[in-house]
Homo-oligomer: A and B are copies of this chain.
């Protein structure tokens, strides 16, 4: 739902009667919203579950993922309209989110063709293990791809 005022949506998106603690999402702040959407939606194949344009905070938020809210494991993109800085990523080196995909080389080729920087080419880090690769999203966040279909 696009351009949704805050009072119009169900604010209990993550569950109203859920006693299981669970991981809900990882949030990242994105400067170039169109580029981020191209990467996560067109590239990785996530879907947009909700978009919130909050005029008084001059911010757009979006929940994206491969499933529904109940599945957890989503990404929250937050785009402050007026941010112009290129984000730095601190010294907590190694932060990333990992996405499982059936075919890592194919996904890397697709993302690279779309302009993504590949920081680790698809490879088995351990013999016989799934191929992994690292790509940067448009804001410089690291995304690990792990193969979940054994060739």
Contacts and interface: CB of A to CB of B under 8 A. Distances in A.
A99 interface: yes
Contacts of A140: 92
As for how many copies of this chain the complex holds, the number is 2
A127 to B, nearest CB: 9
Contacts of A85: 91
A21 B100 contact: yes
B75 A146 contact: no
Contacts of A66: 20-23
Interface of A: 6-7, 11-12, 14-29, 44-46, 65-67, 71-76, 78, 85, 87-102, 126, 128-130, 139-141, 144, 146, 148-150
